[in-house]
Amino acid sequence: MLQSISTPLCKELVARTAGDLNGYPRFMTTNPEGDPTGQANPSAGRDETVSRRLAEARRRKAVLRSEQGDVSTPGGVMSRTVAVTRFLDLMAVRHIEFEMRTHHEARHARHLASMWEVGLSATVRATLMAMDGSPVLFAVPADRKIDAPGVRARMGVVAISVLRGDRGVGRVGWEGMEGHPGALPCLPDMFGASLMIDPELTGSGPIVIGLGGGQSIRCDGTRLAEACGGTVIRCVGRTRLLPEGGMVDDPPR
């Protein structure tokens, strides 16, 4: 079953830099102090000032692109702080109630569940994957594994692979990210990714979502998908991980 939840486009806050929103600094209205040589040749002084300001403008635009998640560059991800701000703004715009907590950095989704003292099935484990080259953030219960072949068949894609996940999934995938490897933040904007969320998280009450940096929230899974424009799709297999360790196979659905 494939269910797409669309949301009205809403204006998002963008990181501001000194100057206008395009990253260009404000030009000075008074002449900068210079040496006698520069004053003797006003044209040369102006050329030098303009060149310096253009270089600064290019630098600021590069920083802004990086903060907005230019995933075309190696390790290019949006600042987690900016992504969290945008996420919480979306929650506020959609009038979605949530409880927020600050705690130790979660090492993985199981650790996050233990800090909230909730079940693994009520905690999100986020995994960033590439589907035919496009980044997709999968949100599944912490006691579930992603059924990659099943997702590939349902979505009609050719290639699917893991890019980033919990600490146990490749430290290389964390290159360029803030902090130490741990529970991957469930923030699609942080990776310029779309969101796919398993229906087990949208029909079983409040769920815990890690935001990284020792922050997490608990909210309704359906409203989370609605706020992020996520697609609800079956993306887990039959294997269920047990809290005490080990795993079992659920009966076919």
Distance of CA 201 to the CA centre of its chain: 18
The pLDDT tens digits of the residues spanning 105-159 come to 998 899 999 999 999 999 999 999 999 989 999 999 999 989 999 999 999 999 9
Tokens representing 38 are: 């520069």
pLDDT score of 164? 84
Helices and strands, counts by H and E, the chain: 6, 12
Instruction: For residues 21-37, give the mean pLDDT.
Output: 41
Mean pLDDT is lowest, of 11-25, 119-133, 156-170, 226-240, for 11-25
How far apart CA 119 and CA 101 sit, in angstroms, is 17
Q: What is the mean pLDDT of residues 8-26?
A: 41
pLDDT above 90 (res 37): no
Model pLDDT, residue 242: 77
Residue 6 in this model has a pLDDT that exceeds 70:
no
Where are the extended beta strands (E) located within the chain? 2-4, 99-102, 124-131, 134-141, 144-146, 160-164, 194-197, 206-212, 215-220, 231-233, 236-241, 247-249
| Residue 196 clears pLDDT 90, i.e. is over it | yes
Alpha helices in 188-243 (DSSP H): 221-228
Q: Which of 2, 245, 1, 253 lies closest to 143 in space, CA to CA? A: 245
pTM, entire model: 0.65
Taking 50 as the threshold, does the pLDDT of residue 7 lie above it? no
Query: Buried b / exposed e across 49-80, counting CB within 10 Å, b at 16+?
Result: beeeeeeebeebeeebebbbbeeeeeeebbbb
* Beta bridge partners of residue 123, listed in sequence order: 208
Q: Is the pLDDT of residue 248 over 90?
A: no
Whether 35 has a pLDDT exceeding 50, the answer reads no
Reply yes or no on whether the pLDDT at 33 is more than 50: no
Mean pLDDT computed over 209-225: 94
User: Residue 152: what pLDDT?
Assistant: 93
